[in-house]
Amino acid sequence: MDWIKIFETRTAAEAALADNQPRLLLVRGQRICIVNRGGKFFAVQDKCTHNGESLSKGKVNFRGEVICPLHQYQFNIKTGRECLQRSNDLECYPIKEGEEGIFISI
Ligand code: FES
């Protein structure tokens, strides 16, 4: 598995990622939607599987689902599953934290 560093430190990640606020990250040309949820980081594909909207423009609800801003489909940020299975699951990307930074595998 190829790990790509996305933040030098946890402090840098938390400064860049407000709690429960999706943010777009470009990793090797891929659009990733990343979320800091209570100090844990989750990453899913940014492109909504319904009609392609950017999920990083959406919000995260109390259940830990990112809500697409276009038609409000709701995707679990841990599993990528749409809550009513109205569209395909999102691709999820593992994130790990080490002494040398925070890394993603895409
Ligand atoms: S494009 Fe995301 S719910 Fe329709």
- The domain spans of the chain are 4-104
Pairing of strands 30-37, 40-45: antiparallel
For 16-59, what is each residue's pLDDT tens digit? Answer: 999 999 999 999 999 999 999 999 999 999 999 999 999 999 99
Sign of CA dihedral 87, 28, 55, 23: positive
Give the C-alpha separation, 96 to 30, whole Å. 18
- The reply to whether ligand 1 has any atom less than 6 angstroms from the CB of 73 is yes
Cα 50 to middle of ligand 1, angstroms: 5
Share of the chain above pLDDT 90, in %: 99
Residue 33 Cβ inside 6 Å of ligand 1? The answer reads no
Please report the pLDDT score of residue 42 as a whole number: 98
Q: What is the mean pLDDT of the chain?
A: 97
Residue 11 CB burial class (10 angstroms; 0-12, 13-18, ≥19): exposed
CA 12 to ligand 1 center in whole angstroms: 31
pLDDT at 1: 80
Task: State which fold the 4-104 domain adopts.
Answer: Rieske Iron-sulfur Protein (2.102.10)
Of 48, 74, 83, best ligand 1 pocket probe by most atoms within 8 Å of the beta carbon: 48
